[in-house]
Amino acid sequence: MLYTENKPIEEVLESLGKEKNVFLLGCNGCAEVCETGGEKALSAMKAELEKAGKNVTSTCLVDFLCNKMLVTTRLSRQRDQLQQSDSILVLTCGIGVQTVSKVVNKVVHPAANTVSLGGLQGLWPSDERCQACGDCALDYTGGICPVTFCAKSLLNGPCGGAKDGKCEVDNEKDCGWQLIYERLQKVGRLENLKKVRVARDHSKMLPSSELRQKSFYDIEV
Amino acid sequence: MKLTKHFEQGKFVITCEVGPPKGIEIDKLIDELEPLRGKADAFNVTDLQSSVMRVGSLATCRLLKDRDLEPIMQLTCRDRNRLGLQSDVLSAAVLGIENLLCLTGDHPKLGDHPQAMPVFDLDSVQLLSAVKGIMNGKDMAGNELEGRPPEFCLGAVVNPGADPLEPQIIKMAKKIEAGAEFFQTQAVYEVDKFADFMKKVKPLKVPVMAGIVFLKSPAMAKFMNANVAGIHVPDEIIDELAAVPKEKRVEKSLEISARLIKQLKDLCQGIHIMSLGWERHIATVLEMAGL
């Protein structure tokens, strides 16, 4: 179970900025239980965005946004609506947001903070994608996580130790910040990097007891 | 004395790096700096350089201060969280240290304790902001400090040879925004490339000190080319060093460094010499470079 919490709507609207046409993508997996994904969250977000004057080009619900194949198949049916959109607002955990950024060449924005992985690393079978920092930065970094992709989890840019695009700690590993730089360049959002990101609040990593309660299943109660 | 005072006076500033020993016999190191009295403006004391456990920067800085040699305390984010870092900043002020150089720091995996937990609670930009906050009388949590806040001159680093360079320059601008007042660079061997870098950072209007690392042997140059980010020693320099017999190598190496300093002098506001154990040769190089 991945615990997620909605980002404040003000933060979501700020991250969308001047983008008018927004594609809404929700997850029916863990995020549905946490009420950050799922039908209910999706329609609530649609109403919020329309109230703020945005045009929601389309909505789409995928069972597990952490499954790359599933996301690719489902989104290919809505290619036209995606193309008309300025960006995709993704209602799920950090792993889901990164899946979407990997398969679609569009700006992605996370609508939630991932708080705890609670025992399951999602369905992404390869690299570690999300450390559940509770303060999702994927919006700022073009959908590539600086906490997991940078060996030092730096938030304000590369340390300068990468050689030929590889990390100073492991020369088989790509420098996360180089990937972020290239991605932001590709989606035309390099100016994101100019913003100073303040130090992490590590207390955000703890899920509230209310959130834990919400996700208990029969076996646990 | 704050390093910024020298820049304000339009002086070409010279700093040298001092690496504390792995052990407590530190007198030899400090004695070797004596010939630089009056020649170097300040001495950077590294903070567990290359992630190797050794005597700390704070204690060594104070020993230099006691001998009237101006220290620059290097502070990295590798080993301490924000509590430890902010406390050490206050301790530095209490011990009379006026210059701080804030950097991310190497990963512990590269050093002699690869088992150690990497901290990196803050990054270099956030560390600079934290120190700036302390200078304004508040800690990172917003709590007021008692009494008079400390004053520091804050420095940072940049790697002009990084590829791609643009993210380095973006981060450099953020460091300035956070409080950095001067920059020291990674070792420079390619003058044209450095000139190009200086042109790009001119709008940032901040003093930059070019890094000089003495080339001890052709093998060292080749090693750095293969392993150190942003350093490229051109073949001509390696060949020049390799062409002389072994007993003349030191002399040749110093000559190469002096020549580089002369070429870089008009491009930047100072030089930062990282002698890596060749502290005894720094005075000669400065003299050869006409400084």
B33-49 burial, b if ≥16 CB within 10 A, otherwise e?
Answer: bebbeeebbbbbbbbbb
Q: What is the pLDDT of residue A124?
A: 52
CA distance A205 to chain B (A): 14
- Nearest CA-CA partner of A94 in A204, A186, A194, A190: A204
Range of B266's domain? 3-288
- Nearest CA-CA partner of B170 in B194, B200, B208: B200
Q: Do B167 and A155 touch (CB under 8 A)?
A: no
Token pair in block for residue B35: 């010939």
User: Residue B230 is nearest to which of A155, A160, A169, comparing CB atoms?
Assistant: A160
SS (H, E, C) B37-58: CCCCCEEEECCCHHHCCCCCHH
Q: Do A199 and B126 touch (CB under 8 A)?
A: yes
Domains, chain A, with CATH or none? 3-206 (3.40.50)
- If you ran DSSP here, which 8-state letter would residue B244 be given? S
Looking at the structure of chain B, the number of domains it has is 1
CA distance A131 to chain B (A): 14
Q: What is the pLDDT of residue A72?
A: 93
pLDDT tier at A1, thresholds 50, 70, 90: low
B139 CA to centre of own chain:
26
User: What residues contact A86, with CB distance under 8 A and at least 6 apart?
Assistant: A19, A20, A21, A22, A107
pLDDT tier at A24, thresholds 50, 70, 90: very high
Average pLDDT of the segment spanning B149-166: 96
Range of weakest confidence among A153-157, B94-98, B275-279:
B275-279
Q: For B5-60, what is each residue's pLDDT tens digit?
A: 999 999 999 999 999 999 999 999 999 999 999 999 999 999 999 999 999 999 99
Report chain B's mean pLDDT, rounded to a whole number.
Answer: 96
User: Residue A162 is nearest to which of B121, B123, B229, comparing CB atoms?
Assistant: B229
C-alpha to C-alpha distance for A147 and A158, rounded to whole angstroms: 12
Q: What is the pLDDT of residue A219?
A: 44
Name the 3-class secondary structure at B285. Answer: helix
B229: which chain A residues are within 8 Å (Cβ-Cβ)? Answer: 160-163, 168
Q: For A100-148, what is each residue's pLDDT tens digit?
A: 998 999 999 999 999 876 555 555 545 567 888 889 999 999 999 999 9
Length of chain B: 291
Here the CATH number for the domain that contains residue B247 is 3.20.20.220
- Asked if residues A25 and A39 have their Cβ atoms less than 8 Å apart, the reply is no
- Nearest CA-CA partner of A28 in A96, A75, A99: A96
Range of weakest confidence among A25-34, A53-62, A183-192, B149-158:
A25-34
The structure tokens 């690299």 sit at A127
Pick among B82, B123, B129, B131 to test the A interface (most A CBs inside 10 A): B123
A79 has a pLDDT exceeding 50? yes
B255-284 burial, b if ≥16 CB within 10 A, otherwise e?
Answer: bbbbbbbebbbebbbbbbbbbeebbebbbb
B129: which chain A residues are within 8 Å (Cβ-Cβ)? Answer: 196, 198
Pick among A150, A156, A172 to test the B interface (most B CBs inside 10 A): A156
User: Residue A168 is nearest to which of B110, B120, B171, comparing CB atoms?
Assistant: B110
The structure tokens 């989104």 sit at A75
Q: Do B227 and A163 touch (CB under 8 A)?
A: yes
C-alpha to C-alpha distance for A15 and A12, rounded to whole angstroms: 5
pLDDT tier at A92, thresholds 50, 70, 90: very high
Range of weakest confidence among A28-32, B74-78, B114-118:
A28-32
Q: Do B170 and A157 touch (CB under 8 A)?
A: yes
Q: Do B120 and A161 touch (CB under 8 A)?
A: no
C-alpha to C-alpha distance for B3 and B7, rounded to whole angstroms: 7
C-alpha to C-alpha distance for B18 and B73, rounded to whole angstroms: 10
User: What are the φ/ψ torsions at residue A116 (nearest 5 degrees)?
Assistant: -155, 145
Interface membership of B172 toward A (CB under 8 Å):
no
